[in-house]
Amino acid sequence: MEYRLNLQFFAGEKTEPATPRRREEARKKGQVAKSVEVSTALMVLTGVLLIRALGPYAAGHLRETLQHYLGNLTMWEGDLAGLGNIFLVALLKLGMVMAPIFLAFLVVSVVSQAVQVGFVVTSEVLQPKFSRINPLEGFRRIFSKRAVVEFLKSLAKVSLVGYLVYQQLRGDLQWLPQMGLFNLEHSVTLISDGVYGMGLRVGLFLLVLAAADYWWQRREFENSIKMSKEEIKEEYKQLEGDPMIRSRIRQRQRQMAQQRMMQAIPTADVIITNPTHYAVAVKYTPGEMNAPKVVAKGRGPIAQRIKEEGQKHRITTVENVELARALYDSTEVGQEIPADLYPAVAEVLAFVYRLRKKTV
pLDDT digits (tens, 9 = 90+) for 131-187: 555 566 555 666 666 677 777 878 888 888 888 877 777 766 666 666 656 565 666
Share of the chain above pLDDT 70, in %: 72
pLDDT at 102 over 80: yes
- The pairing of strands 316-319 and 278-283 is unpaired
How far apart (Å, rounded) are the C-alpha atoms in residues 270 and 258? 18
Q: Please tell me the least confidently modeled range out of 15-29, 184-198, 274-288, 346-360.
A: 184-198
Structure confidence at residue 359 (pLDDT)? 58
Q: Which has the higher per-residue pLDDT, 173 or 319?
A: 319
How far apart (Å, rounded) are the C-alpha atoms in residues 254 and 68? 91
CA nearest 261: which of 314, 298, 290?
298
Structure confidence at residue 136 (pLDDT)? 60
CA–CA distances in Å: residue 85 to residues 56, 75, 94, 164, 218: 27, 13, 14, 44, 53
Q: Which has the higher per-residue pLDDT, 169 or 36?
A: 36
The amino acid occupying position 194 is G
CA nearest 52: which of 200, 179, 167, 257?
200
pLDDT at 7 over 50: no
The pLDDT mean for the chain works out to 77
pLDDT at 6 over 70: no
How far apart (Å, rounded) are the C-alpha atoms in residues 225 and 30? 13
Structure confidence at residue 1 (pLDDT)? 44
Structure confidence at residue 281 (pLDDT)? 92
Is 37 in contact with 160 (CB distance < 8 Å)?
no
pLDDT at 124 over 70: no
pLDDT at 3 over 50: no
- The pairing of strands 316-319 and 270-274 is parallel
List the alpha helices (DSSP H) in the chain.
20-28, 36-74, 80-117, 135-142, 145-172, 184-224, 229-240, 243-264, 301-312, 321-330, 342-359
Q: Which has the higher per-residue pLDDT, 1 or 111?
A: 111
Structure confidence at residue 9 (pLDDT)? 44
pLDDT at 129 over 70: no
Structure confidence at residue 280 (pLDDT)? 92
Q: Where do the CATH 3.40.1690.10 domains begin and end in the chain?
A: 263-359
Is 314 in contact with 236 (CB distance < 8 Å)?
no
The Cβ of residue 55 has, within 10 Å, a number of other Cβ atoms equal to 15
User: Buried (b) or exposed (e) across 123-154, using 16+ Cβ within 10 A?
Assistant: eeeeeeeeeeeeeeeeeeeeeeeeeeeeeeee
pLDDT at 109 over 60: yes
* Whole-prediction pTM: 0.50
CATH code of the region 263-359: 3.40.1690.10
Query: At residue 283, what are phi and psi to the nearest 5 degrees?
Result: -130, 140
Q: SS3 of 296, please? A: strand
How far apart (Å, rounded) are the C-alpha atoms in residues 164 and 211? 19
Structure confidence at residue 8 (pLDDT)? 47
Is 18 in contact with 225 (CB distance < 8 Å)?
yes
